[in-house]
Structure 1
Amino acid sequence: MATKGKGKDKNDGRKLVAQHKKARHDYHILDTYECGLVLTGTEVKSLRQGRASLVDGFVQIDGGEAWLHNVHIPEYAQGTWTNHSARRKRKLLLHRVEIDKLEVKSQDSGHTIVPLSLYFKGGRAKVEIALAKGKKEWDKRQTLREQQDRRETDRAISAARRRQRA
Protein backbone atom coordinates (compact mmCIF):
# COMPACT_ATOMS: atom_id res chain seq x y z
CA MET A 1 0.00 0.00 0.00
CA ALA A 2 1.45 3.35 -1.01
CA THR A 3 1.86 6.08 1.57
CA LYS A 4 0.31 9.45 1.05
CA GLY A 5 2.33 12.47 1.98
CA LYS A 6 4.05 15.58 0.79
CA GLY A 7 6.14 14.95 -2.32
CA LYS A 8 5.11 11.32 -2.77
CA ASP A 9 3.26 9.86 -5.72
CA LYS A 10 0.32 7.67 -4.80
CA ASN A 11 1.25 4.69 -6.94
CA ASP A 12 4.98 3.93 -6.76
CA GLY A 13 6.45 5.28 -3.51
CA ARG A 14 8.56 8.00 -5.10
CA LYS A 15 9.62 10.99 -3.04
CA LEU A 16 10.07 13.74 -5.61
CA VAL A 17 13.04 16.06 -5.05
CA ALA A 18 13.17 18.12 -8.26
CA GLN A 19 11.39 18.29 -11.59
CA HIS A 20 12.25 19.96 -14.90
CA LYS A 21 8.80 21.09 -15.97
CA LYS A 22 9.99 23.22 -18.87
CA ALA A 23 11.61 20.20 -20.56
CA ARG A 24 8.23 18.94 -21.75
CA HIS A 25 7.55 22.41 -23.16
CA ASP A 26 10.89 22.78 -24.94
CA TYR A 27 11.31 19.22 -26.24
CA HIS A 28 9.38 16.39 -27.86
CA ILE A 29 9.97 13.49 -25.43
CA LEU A 30 10.74 10.37 -27.47
CA ASP A 31 11.78 7.84 -24.81
CA THR A 32 12.31 7.88 -21.03
CA TYR A 33 14.70 5.93 -18.81
CA GLU A 34 15.05 5.57 -15.05
CA CYS A 35 18.62 5.42 -13.83
CA GLY A 36 20.58 5.54 -10.61
CA LEU A 37 23.12 8.17 -9.62
CA VAL A 38 26.59 7.89 -8.11
CA LEU A 39 26.53 10.45 -5.28
CA THR A 40 28.62 11.42 -2.28
CA GLY A 41 27.20 11.44 1.25
CA THR A 42 26.70 15.19 1.45
CA GLU A 43 24.86 15.18 -1.91
CA VAL A 44 22.39 12.60 -0.61
CA LYS A 45 21.83 14.63 2.57
CA SER A 46 21.24 17.77 0.54
CA LEU A 47 18.78 15.91 -1.72
CA ARG A 48 16.89 14.56 1.30
CA GLN A 49 16.31 18.18 2.30
CA GLY A 50 14.62 18.61 -1.10
CA ARG A 51 17.21 20.89 -2.62
CA ALA A 52 18.16 20.46 -6.29
CA SER A 53 17.67 22.06 -9.70
CA LEU A 54 17.56 20.28 -13.07
CA VAL A 55 17.05 23.40 -15.20
CA ASP A 56 20.40 23.49 -17.03
CA GLY A 57 21.05 19.75 -16.84
CA PHE A 58 21.90 17.44 -19.71
CA VAL A 59 23.33 13.95 -20.19
CA GLN A 60 26.44 13.17 -22.19
CA ILE A 61 27.74 9.75 -23.19
CA ASP A 62 31.53 9.67 -22.80
CA GLY A 63 33.71 6.57 -23.07
CA GLY A 64 30.77 4.18 -22.81
CA GLU A 65 29.49 5.85 -19.62
CA ALA A 66 26.58 8.23 -19.10
CA TRP A 67 27.32 11.47 -17.22
CA LEU A 68 24.86 14.01 -15.83
CA HIS A 69 26.13 17.58 -16.27
CA ASN A 70 25.04 20.96 -14.82
CA VAL A 71 22.55 19.63 -12.26
CA HIS A 72 22.72 21.88 -9.23
CA ILE A 73 22.73 20.10 -5.86
CA PRO A 74 23.66 22.78 -3.29
CA GLU A 75 26.28 22.10 -0.64
CA TYR A 76 25.03 20.48 2.55
CA ALA A 77 24.73 23.13 5.26
CA GLN A 78 26.25 20.96 8.02
CA GLY A 79 28.97 19.60 5.74
CA THR A 80 32.64 20.14 6.48
CA TRP A 81 35.68 20.01 4.22
CA THR A 82 34.18 16.80 2.74
CA ASN A 83 31.40 18.82 1.06
CA HIS A 84 30.82 18.41 -2.68
CA SER A 85 30.90 21.01 -5.44
CA ALA A 86 27.40 22.02 -6.47
CA ARG A 87 27.61 21.50 -10.26
CA ARG A 88 30.01 18.60 -10.64
CA LYS A 89 29.34 15.92 -13.25
CA ARG A 90 27.74 12.78 -11.86
CA LYS A 91 27.83 9.26 -13.24
CA LEU A 92 24.53 7.64 -14.21
CA LEU A 93 23.90 3.95 -13.65
CA LEU A 94 22.36 2.36 -16.75
CA HIS A 95 22.61 -1.01 -18.43
CA ARG A 96 25.13 -1.27 -21.27
CA VAL A 97 22.34 -1.86 -23.83
CA GLU A 98 20.56 1.33 -22.73
CA ILE A 99 23.76 3.39 -22.88
CA ASP A 100 24.54 2.11 -26.38
CA LYS A 101 20.98 2.82 -27.56
CA LEU A 102 21.08 6.35 -26.12
CA GLU A 103 24.48 7.03 -27.65
CA VAL A 104 23.33 6.03 -31.14
CA LYS A 105 20.05 7.96 -30.94
CA SER A 106 21.60 11.09 -29.44
CA GLN A 107 24.01 11.34 -32.40
CA ASP A 108 21.03 12.19 -34.65
CA SER A 109 20.63 15.85 -35.48
CA GLY A 110 18.48 17.77 -32.99
CA HIS A 111 18.39 14.99 -30.40
CA THR A 112 19.57 15.38 -26.83
CA ILE A 113 19.23 13.65 -23.46
CA VAL A 114 17.67 15.74 -20.67
CA PRO A 115 16.80 14.98 -17.04
CA LEU A 116 13.07 15.18 -16.27
CA SER A 117 12.91 14.46 -12.55
CA LEU A 118 15.05 13.56 -9.56
CA TYR A 119 13.52 11.45 -6.80
CA PHE A 120 14.06 8.80 -4.15
CA LYS A 121 12.66 5.34 -4.78
CA GLY A 122 13.17 2.67 -2.16
CA GLY A 123 15.75 4.86 -0.41
CA ARG A 124 17.88 5.24 -3.53
CA ALA A 125 18.33 8.41 -5.55
CA LYS A 126 17.04 8.03 -9.10
CA VAL A 127 16.84 10.36 -12.05
CA GLU A 128 14.40 10.05 -14.95
CA ILE A 129 16.09 11.01 -18.21
CA ALA A 130 14.56 11.37 -21.63
CA LEU A 131 15.76 11.17 -25.19
CA ALA A 132 14.29 14.34 -26.65
CA LYS A 133 14.14 16.36 -29.84
CA GLY A 134 14.07 20.14 -29.60
CA LYS A 135 10.85 21.91 -30.52
CA LYS A 136 10.73 24.85 -32.86
CA GLU A 137 9.04 28.07 -31.71
CA TRP A 138 5.88 27.36 -33.71
CA ASP A 139 5.68 23.87 -32.14
CA LYS A 140 5.64 25.45 -28.69
CA ARG A 141 2.90 27.90 -29.70
CA GLN A 142 0.86 25.09 -31.24
CA THR A 143 1.17 22.99 -28.07
CA LEU A 144 0.06 25.92 -25.90
CA ARG A 145 -2.88 26.57 -28.25
CA GLU A 146 -3.97 22.91 -28.06
CA GLN A 147 -3.79 22.98 -24.25
CA GLN A 148 -5.82 26.18 -24.13
CA ASP A 149 -8.45 24.76 -26.51
CA ARG A 150 -8.69 21.56 -24.45
CA ARG A 151 -9.11 23.61 -21.26
CA GLU A 152 -11.87 25.75 -22.83
CA THR A 153 -13.82 22.73 -24.08
CA ASP A 154 -13.58 21.07 -20.64
CA ARG A 155 -14.91 24.25 -19.03
CA ALA A 156 -17.78 24.47 -21.52
CA ILE A 157 -18.71 20.81 -20.95
CA SER A 158 -18.66 21.16 -17.16
CA ALA A 159 -20.73 24.37 -17.36
CA ALA A 160 -23.31 22.61 -19.55
CA ARG A 161 -23.48 19.71 -17.07
CA ARG A 162 -24.01 22.16 -14.19
CA ARG A 163 -26.87 23.85 -16.08
CA GLN A 164 -28.42 20.43 -16.77
CA ARG A 165 -28.39 19.48 -13.07
CA ALA A 166 -30.00 22.75 -11.98
Structure 2
Amino acid sequence: MPKGTGKVIAQNKKARHDFSIEETIEAGIVLRGTEIKSIRAGRINLKDSHARIDRNGELQLVNMHIAPYEQGNQFNHDPTRSRKLLLHRKEIDKLIGHIQQKGYSLVPLKVYIKNGVAKALIGVGKGKKKYDKREDSKRKQMKRDADRAIKESMK
Protein backbone atom coordinates (compact mmCIF):
# COMPACT_ATOMS: atom_id res chain seq x y z
CA MET A 1 0.00 0.00 0.00
CA PRO A 2 1.52 3.40 -0.95
CA LYS A 3 2.33 6.12 1.56
CA GLY A 4 -0.60 8.24 2.68
CA THR A 5 -3.31 5.73 1.80
CA GLY A 6 -5.87 4.49 4.24
CA LYS A 7 -8.94 6.03 5.84
CA VAL A 8 -8.00 9.72 6.12
CA ILE A 9 -9.13 11.13 9.46
CA ALA A 10 -7.63 14.65 9.34
CA GLN A 11 -5.76 16.75 6.79
CA ASN A 12 -3.67 19.89 7.23
CA LYS A 13 -4.84 21.80 4.13
CA LYS A 14 -2.97 24.94 5.16
CA ALA A 15 0.37 23.09 5.12
CA ARG A 16 0.63 22.90 1.33
CA HIS A 17 -0.37 26.57 1.16
CA ASP A 18 2.29 27.74 3.64
CA PHE A 19 5.07 25.29 2.71
CA SER A 20 6.48 23.83 -0.47
CA ILE A 21 6.64 20.15 0.44
CA GLU A 22 9.69 18.39 -1.00
CA GLU A 23 9.48 14.97 0.61
CA THR A 24 6.98 12.97 2.66
CA ILE A 25 7.46 10.17 5.14
CA GLU A 26 4.97 7.91 6.90
CA ALA A 27 5.28 7.50 10.66
CA GLY A 28 3.35 5.61 13.30
CA ILE A 29 1.97 7.56 16.26
CA VAL A 30 2.31 6.42 19.88
CA LEU A 31 -1.13 6.94 21.44
CA ARG A 32 -2.91 6.22 24.69
CA GLY A 33 -6.14 4.20 24.92
CA THR A 34 -8.72 6.95 24.68
CA GLU A 35 -6.75 8.89 22.03
CA ILE A 36 -7.22 6.27 19.32
CA LYS A 37 -10.94 6.18 20.07
CA SER A 38 -11.15 9.96 19.61
CA ILE A 39 -9.14 9.76 16.38
CA ARG A 40 -11.43 7.06 14.98
CA ALA A 41 -14.36 9.36 15.83
CA GLY A 42 -12.65 12.11 13.79
CA ARG A 43 -12.06 14.45 16.74
CA ILE A 44 -8.56 15.56 15.76
CA ASN A 45 -7.08 18.86 14.54
CA LEU A 46 -3.68 19.34 12.86
CA LYS A 47 -3.99 23.10 12.36
CA ASP A 48 -1.06 24.47 14.41
CA SER A 49 0.91 21.26 14.80
CA HIS A 50 4.48 20.54 13.78
CA ALA A 51 7.08 17.84 14.28
CA ARG A 52 10.47 18.24 15.93
CA ILE A 53 13.39 16.10 16.96
CA ASP A 54 14.01 16.15 20.71
CA ARG A 55 17.25 15.77 22.70
CA ASN A 56 17.05 11.97 22.64
CA GLY A 57 16.95 11.91 18.84
CA GLU A 58 13.27 10.95 18.78
CA LEU A 59 10.66 12.54 16.55
CA GLN A 60 7.80 14.26 18.43
CA LEU A 61 4.51 15.58 17.08
CA VAL A 62 3.75 18.81 18.93
CA ASN A 63 0.45 20.72 19.29
CA MET A 64 -1.73 18.13 17.55
CA HIS A 65 -5.12 18.45 19.24
CA ILE A 66 -7.03 15.26 19.97
CA ALA A 67 -10.28 15.99 21.81
CA PRO A 68 -10.86 14.00 25.02
CA TYR A 69 -12.96 10.88 24.48
CA GLU A 70 -16.53 11.52 25.60
CA GLN A 71 -17.07 8.10 27.20
CA GLY A 72 -13.65 8.25 28.87
CA ASN A 73 -13.20 8.75 32.60
CA GLN A 74 -10.22 9.88 34.69
CA PHE A 75 -7.94 8.09 32.23
CA ASN A 76 -8.57 10.71 29.52
CA HIS A 77 -5.52 12.37 28.01
CA ASP A 78 -4.19 15.92 27.70
CA PRO A 79 -5.51 17.14 24.29
CA THR A 80 -2.31 18.84 23.06
CA ARG A 81 0.44 16.71 24.60
CA SER A 82 3.51 15.83 22.53
CA ARG A 83 3.24 12.44 20.88
CA LYS A 84 6.15 10.27 19.80
CA LEU A 85 6.37 9.30 16.13
CA LEU A 86 7.76 5.90 15.20
CA LEU A 87 10.46 5.85 12.53
CA HIS A 88 13.60 3.86 11.85
CA ARG A 89 16.89 5.46 12.95
CA LYS A 90 18.02 5.88 9.30
CA GLU A 91 14.83 7.81 8.51
CA ILE A 92 15.26 10.08 11.54
CA ASP A 93 18.89 10.77 10.59
CA LYS A 94 17.77 11.65 7.06
CA LEU A 95 15.18 14.09 8.48
CA ILE A 96 17.81 15.66 10.75
CA GLY A 97 19.93 16.32 7.66
CA HIS A 98 16.97 18.00 5.94
CA ILE A 99 15.91 20.27 8.79
CA GLN A 100 19.43 21.44 9.57
CA GLN A 101 19.26 23.34 6.28
CA LYS A 102 17.91 26.85 6.77
CA GLY A 103 14.18 27.32 6.33
CA TYR A 104 13.10 23.65 6.42
CA SER A 105 10.43 22.35 8.79
CA LEU A 106 8.63 19.10 9.53
CA VAL A 107 4.90 19.53 8.97
CA PRO A 108 2.18 16.91 9.53
CA LEU A 109 0.11 16.67 6.33
CA LYS A 110 -2.52 14.13 7.36
CA VAL A 111 -3.45 11.50 9.90
CA TYR A 112 -5.09 8.28 8.73
CA ILE A 113 -5.88 4.74 9.81
CA LYS A 114 -3.97 2.04 7.92
CA ASN A 115 -4.48 -1.63 8.80
CA GLY A 116 -6.07 -0.58 12.12
CA VAL A 117 -3.09 1.59 13.14
CA ALA A 118 -2.95 5.40 13.27
CA LYS A 119 -0.30 6.85 10.95
CA ALA A 120 0.85 10.40 10.22
CA LEU A 121 2.18 11.63 6.89
CA ILE A 122 4.99 14.08 7.68
CA GLY A 123 6.26 16.48 5.03
CA VAL A 124 9.66 18.14 4.85
CA GLY A 125 8.86 21.62 3.64
CA LYS A 126 10.39 25.00 3.09
CA GLY A 127 8.28 27.98 4.15
CA LYS A 128 6.80 30.00 1.30
CA LYS A 129 7.06 33.76 1.06
CA LYS A 130 3.98 35.85 0.39
CA TYR A 131 4.86 36.33 -3.28
CA ASP A 132 5.26 32.55 -3.72
CA LYS A 133 1.73 32.03 -2.39
CA ARG A 134 0.36 34.65 -4.79
CA GLU A 135 2.18 33.04 -7.71
CA ASP A 136 0.76 29.61 -6.81
CA SER A 137 -2.78 30.96 -6.61
CA LYS A 138 -2.37 32.68 -10.01
CA ARG A 139 -1.07 29.44 -11.53
CA LYS A 140 -4.03 27.48 -10.10
CA GLN A 141 -6.51 30.04 -11.42
CA MET A 142 -4.94 29.95 -14.91
CA LYS A 143 -5.13 26.15 -14.91
CA ARG A 144 -8.81 26.27 -13.87
CA ASP A 145 -9.56 28.78 -16.63
CA ALA A 146 -7.76 26.65 -19.23
CA ASP A 147 -9.59 23.50 -18.12
CA ARG A 148 -12.90 25.35 -18.22
CA ALA A 149 -12.17 26.63 -21.76
CA ILE A 150 -11.29 23.13 -22.96
CA LYS A 151 -14.47 21.76 -21.40
CA GLU A 152 -16.57 24.49 -23.07
CA SER A 153 -14.97 23.85 -26.49
CA MET A 154 -15.81 20.13 -26.22
CA LYS A 155 -19.57 20.82 -25.91
Give the TM bin, normalised by the shorter chain. over 0.9
Aligned with 1:51 (options 43, 47, 63): 43
Write the distance in 2 (CA, Å) between the matches of 1:13 and 1:140: 27
Across the aligned residues of Structure 1 and Structure 2, the Cα RMSD in angstroms comes to 1.0
Aligned with 2:75 (options 82, 94, 115): 82
Deviations 1:87-140 (A, max 9, x none): 000000001001011012111111000000001000000000000000000000
**Which amino acid letter does the alignment assign opposite residue 81 of structure 2?**
R
Q: TM-score, normalised by structure 2?
A: 0.95
Equivalent residue runs for 1:82-121 within 5 Å: 82-121=75-114
Write the distance in 1 (CA, Å) between the matches of 2:8 and 2:94: 27
Q: Which runs of 5+ in 1 are unaligned?
A: 1-11
Would the alpha carbon gap of residues 141 and 13 (structure 1) be closer, same or farther in structure 2, given more than 3 Å must change?
A: closer
> Aligned residue for 2:6?
14
* CA displacement at 1:13 relative to structure 2: 6.1
Contact 2:52/2:106 (CA < 8 Å) preserved in 1? yes
Contact 2:28/2:119 (CA < 8 Å) preserved in 1? yes
Runs of 4+ in 1 over 3 A off after TM superposition: none
Contact 1:13/1:122 (CA < 8 Å) preserved in 2? no
Write the distance in 2 (CA, Å) between the matches of 1:99 and 1:13: 21
Would the alpha carbon gap of residues 13 and 149 (structure 1) be closer, same or farther in structure 2, given more than 3 Å must change?
A: closer
Q: TM-score, normalised by structure 1?
A: 0.89
Write the distance in 2 (CA, Å) between the matches of 1:140 and 1:13: 27
Aligned with 1:66 (options 56, 59, 65): 59
Q: Which runs of 5+ in 2 are unaligned?
A: none
Write the distance in 1 (CA, Å) between the matches of 2:152 and 2:103: 43
Q: Does 1:155 align with 2:155?
A: no
Write the distance in 2 (CA, Å) between the matches of 1:105 and 1:119: 24
Aligned with 1:34 (options 26, 30, 42): 26
- Name which structure has the greater RCO, CA cutoff 8 Å, separation 6+: 2
Identity over the aligned pairs, expressed in percent?
50
Contact 1:111/1:133 (CA < 8 Å) preserved in 2? yes
* CA displacement at 1:21 relative to structure 2: 0.6
